[in-house]
């Protein structure tokens, strides 16, 4: 599975110009955006993670690891996909560390550091 965004290439039938469609806007060649559009949210807030999202990601990764022939599916992951997977586990670990440091009940999640470590072992990242 490729985790990169691949834009839809369109050609304007009137002008013959081609461009890529990002969401609902068409960006013509040479005017591609450098940074993703996060609306009015400052960039530092766009990367914030909430507890429900973290718990859902963990549950999804856990469900996938219990699927039939899971080990075989890992064989077919490309290097980019493995790097993306490593990044997901690193973000989950950092979130758990921040929860432990903050000692904030609102940030508690449904899994432990040990459960995360065990799950990461199944993924062999």
The model's pTM:
0.59
If you average pLDDT over residues 99-114, what whole number do you get? 79
| The 8-11 sheet, strands edge to edge | 8-11, 18-22, 25-28
pLDDT at 36: 45
pLDDT digits (tens, 9 = 90+) for 62-97: 999 999 999 999 999 999 999 999 999 999 999 888
- Report the 3 state secondary structure along 47-112: CCCCHHHHHHHHHHHHHHHCCCCHHHHHHCCCHHHHHHHHHHHHHHHHHHHHHHHHCCHHHCCCCC
């Amino acid at each position: 599975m490729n985790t990169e965004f691949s834009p839809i290439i369109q050609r304007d039938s009137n002008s013959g110009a081609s461009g890529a469609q990002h969401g609902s806007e068409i960006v013509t060649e040479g005017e591609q955006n450098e940074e993703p559009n996060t609306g009015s949210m400052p960039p530092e807030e766009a990367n914030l993670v909430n507890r429900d999202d973290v718990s859902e990601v963990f549950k999804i990764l856990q469900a996938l690891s219990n699927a039939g022939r899971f080990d075989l599916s890992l064989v077919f992951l490309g290097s980019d996909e493995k790097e993306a997977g490593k990044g997901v586990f690193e973000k989950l670990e950092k979130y758990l560390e921040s929860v432990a440091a903050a000692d904030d009940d609102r940030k508690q999640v449904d899994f432990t550091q040990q459960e995360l470590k065990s799950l990461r072992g199944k993924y062999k990242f």
